[in-house]
Amino acid sequence: RQPVTKNTFRQYRVLGKGGFGEVCACQVRATGKMYACKKLEKKRIKKRKGEAMALNEKQILEKVNSRFVVSLAYAYETKDALCLVLTLMNGGDLKFHIYHMGEAGFEEPRAVFYAAEICCGLENLHQERIVYR
CA 91 to chain centre: 13
Q: What's the residue count for the chain?
A: 133
C-beta neighbour count of 34 within 10 angstroms:
15
Phi, psi of 34 (to 5 degrees): -95, 145
58 labeled binding residue: no
**Burial class of residue 21 (count of CB atoms within 10 Å of its CB; 0-12, 13-18, 19+):** buried
49 dihedral zone (left: phi>0; alpha: psi -120 to 50; beta): left
Q: Would you list which residues are annotated within the binding site for ATP?
A: 47
Q: Would you list which residues are annotated within the binding site?
A: 47
